[in-house]
Structure 1
Amino acid sequence: MLRTEDGGYLWQTCAIPPGAEKLDFRGVQAFDENTAIVMSSGPGDQSRLYKTTDGCQTWKLIFTNPDKDGFWDSIRFDFLPKKRQSNDHRSGVLVGDPVNGQFAVYTTQNGGDSWEIWAKDDEVNAYKRLGPINANTRESLFAASNSVVVTLRPNEIRFITGGEGGSRLFSAEPHNPFDNETKFKFTVTKLPFSSNKSSGAFSIASRQTQPYKDDLMVVGGNYESPDSVGACAYLPHRENNSLGGVVFFGSERQRVISSTTPPHGYRSAVAWDADQKLWITVGPNGTDISNDDGKNWRPLTPSPTDPEDTDKNWNALSLPFVVGPHGRIGRLRTIDQKAAVTKKP
């Protein structure tokens, strides 16, 4: 693990959490210059969360997967406006592969210090009352880029699936308060991705256009065939109803729009660049951008002054940074007709 305080010019080596030398760390969420949570992925108790409050000099184990058959895939926090949050009150979500036929979803309301599984029916805490999160046979999540889940607002999450059981979008949304039904339910939208053990939806990103209006972009493909044509689906926001601007599940069907020109290979991560007003997606064989909401993707190629592989061998995005295998780190620069991701040592 590495840490930077100057935008990526210099990198410091972090301490390794005690007993975690052989764990596979897939996710990180930084809150400020000193506070962060990292997630390891693996079967059973190899899925863990560690937290630092001193700039990664020391770590505290805060949560271990309680399911021996479980496997964690992604962690995400929602940052509220400063006037509504403190360092101790941040909501987050953690998702994992199915256990006993249901996806594992955990939430925190205190910056990750404690976690609770979202109950199917909790009469004590009504806001947590949820419908079941049932998985298809051989349906799973992919942990390649820590980006199979997004939080649009506190407790309003979206996560994507893949594998032989097919690719779907799960959306936890509030129910109409006047029908006295379960407070939250997961609605399901089928995604047009191929289905096998190495294929499906790998990454989801959101873009808020207006309050309570969020567009989604999903990318993926087949990680065992990275040069095959990639997969992409754009899901524009649904119109709000009249009850406070909130979209209640079932109020409008989610549209799914496939690309005319998809990404040029398997893609494991996607993000919205708000400064440059474009979507960017990365994978082992290249980088693509779209400025028409995923209808057409065009590849980025290195400029004459870049290393020839500057566009390739990337796994995950956290703009402006991009990371790849073997400690590879890059920083996105302003894109023009010959733009490329600039590689950093």
Structure 2
Amino acid sequence: MKTILPALLLGFLTLNAHAQWRQQPTKVDADFRGLCAVTEKVAWVSGTNGTVGRTTDGGQTWQFSTVVGAEKLDFRDVEAFGEAVAIVLSIGPGGDSRIYKTTDGGQSWKLQFQNADPEAFYDALAFWDEKNGLALSDPVKGHYRLIATDDGGTTWKPLPTDNMPTALKGEGAFAASGTCLVTQNEKDAWFVTGGAKQARVFHTADRGQHWTVSETPITAAVESAGAFSIAFRDRDHGIIVGGDYRKPTEGGATAAVTRDGGKTWKLVEPALPFRSGVAWAKDRWVAVGTSGSSVSLDDGVTWKELDRENYNSVRFTTAGAGWAAGPKGRIATFEKK
């Protein structure tokens, strides 16, 4: 132990010295969960009280606005396509689930979709490109509901549920970070669930026309637990993270990796604390949660603690520029030294 412990400590200090979060000034108190990293300079956030924020200078300054007519809504996801165009999704039962779009950098917003089904509750958005995307709702009458757009979010149409596996009793998705639903390549998409006995992963290879489902080793069993976030670095290699948000510091079956596109999942051990977001950062995985953030340099096999700040979401560009967002206006940029 006298020789092993110093080596482990040196490894942690070396890793921690070469990557850290730098807090950015925001002067707002909204709780942020929606986050989109567009380029090294451009990022968007969204959150409570209808708040949307944008930076165009790498976070040195942020511009915040409130979407007119949505002052009481909680925007849990944002997808952006540069400095001017962004789409936000608010959560809630019935008409509180909405989608708005801006084409002028957030100066004005247009309502593009408002849910009319009192049983539906939308959780997240994901796009393959600027035109084609999906939005996910919790199950309605035993099946997850998805709507799709092929015109950049102007119109949305329901996808068929005939080829969607049946939802389990108590199963649902978590609108915790905007990453319970993700897209990859030209036609693949995945979403993760919780609340039932085991967390599951749903996959489509044809933009939502047909779906398959696989079980994971992440335990759910209660409505506050399951898989919260999913991310892929390519079509085969991915990670899911989660846990029980009511027990943010506890470990257990909280993360798993796949090497076959989500068909099978292997538990990450030793366990991470609860994590609500995970993202690929060009050469490493980064996961965040209410008790802190973690990083893996060996494709998710082992993890090190980065810090113990409260974050809800994390996103990176393909070039490796990244942000994390959390409660009370917290936004941080990821820095390597």
Q: CA deviation at 1:255?
A: 2.5
When Rg is computed on C-alpha atoms for both structures, the one with the higher figure is 1
Look up the match of 1:316: 313
In the alignment, the residues of structure 2 paired with residue 42 and residue 160 of structure 1 have an alpha-carbon distance, to the nearest angstrom, of 19
Q: Contact between 2:217 and 2:266, CA under 8 Å: does it hold in 1?
A: no
**Aligned equivalent of 1:270:** 278
- For residues 283 and 4 of structure 1, the distance between their equivalents in structure 2, rounded to whole angstroms, comes to 23
Alpha-carbon distance, 1:165 to partner: 4.6
The Cα offsets for residues 100-143 of structure 1, whole Å up to 9 and x where unpaired, read as: 111011111111111111114xxxxxxxxx61342001000000
Measured after TM superposition, the shift of residue 229 of structure 1 is 0.6
Partner of 1:178: none
Identify the match of residue 35 of structure 1 among 62, 75, 85. 85
Residue 153 of structure 1: how far off its partner (Å): 3.0
Shift of 1:184: 4.6
| Contact 2:159/2:209 (<8 A) preserved | no
Among residues 3, 15, 20, which one is paired with 2:70 in the alignment? 20
Q: Offset of 1:70 from its aligned partner?
A: 0.9
Q: In the alignment, which residue of structure 2 is the partner of 1:291?
A: 297
Judged with a 3 Å threshold, the aligned counterparts in structure 2 of structure 1 residues 255 and 92 are, in CA distance, closer, same or farther, namely same
Is the Cα–Cα contact under 8 Å of residues 164 and 212 in structure 2 kept in the other structure?
Answer: no
Code of the residue aligned with 2:265 in structure 1: it is: V
SS in 1 for 2:231: strand
- For normalisation by structure 1, the TM-score amounts to 0.77
1:188 aligns with 2:188: no
Q: Which residue of 1 aligns with 2:95?
A: 45
Give the alignment partner of residue 160 of structure 1, picking from 181, 192, 198: 192
2:260 maps to: 237
Deviations 1:74-105 (A, max 9, x none): 101113xxxxxxxxx61101101111111011
Instruction: Give 1:297 deviation, angstroms.
Output: 1.3
Match of 1:135 in 2: 167
Point out where structure 1 has 5 or more consecutive residues left out of the alignment.
80-88, 121-129, 175-182, 239-252, 302-310, 336-345
Three-state SS of the structure 2 residue aligned to 1:62 is: strand
The answer on whether the counterparts of 1:38 and 1:49 sit within 8 Å (CA) in structure 2 is yes
State the distance in 1 between where 2:182 and 2:328 align: 26
Partner of 1:117: 158
1 or 2 for the larger relative contact order (CA 8 Å, sep ≥6)?
A: 2
Structure-2 separation of matches of 1:135 and 1:228: 27
From 167, 172, 188, the equivalent of 2:204 is: 172
Contact kept, 8 Å, 1:288 with 1:298, in 2: the verdict is yes
Partners of 1:204 and 1:218 lie apart in 2 by 4
Name the structure 2 match of 1:2. 53
8 A Cα contact 1:192 1:258, kept in partner:
yes
TM-score (norm 2): 0.79
Match status 1:215 vs 2:241: no
Q: Distance in 1 between matches of 2:183 and 2:152?
A: 14
Q: Is residue 2:183 matched to residue 1:151?
A: yes
Aligned residue identity for 1:31: F
Supply the distance in 2 between the matched residues of 1:184 and 1:115 (Cα, whole angstroms). Answer: 15
- For residues 254 and 3 of structure 1, the distance between their equivalents in structure 2, rounded to whole angstroms, comes to 37
Aligned residues of 1:139 and 1:166 also touching (Cα < 8 A) = no
Partner Cα separation in structure 1 for residue 107 and residue 194 of structure 2: 37
Whether 1:325 and 2:327 are equivalent positions in the alignment is yes
- Counterpart among 225, 247, 264 of residue 199 in structure 1: 225
Q: CA deviation at 1:155?
A: 3.6
Q: State the secondary structure of the residue aligned to 1:327.
A: coil
Q: Report how far residue 202 of structure 1 moved.
A: 0.2
User: How far apart are residue 328 of structure 1 and its match?
Assistant: 0.5
The code of the aligned residue for 1:205 comes to A
Amino acid at match of 1:220: G
Which amino acid is the alignment partner of residue 99 of structure 1? V
Runs of 5+ unmatched residues, structure 2: 1-51, 317-321
Aligned residues: 279
Who is 1:99 aligned against? 140
User: SS in structure 1 opposite 2:95?
Assistant: helix
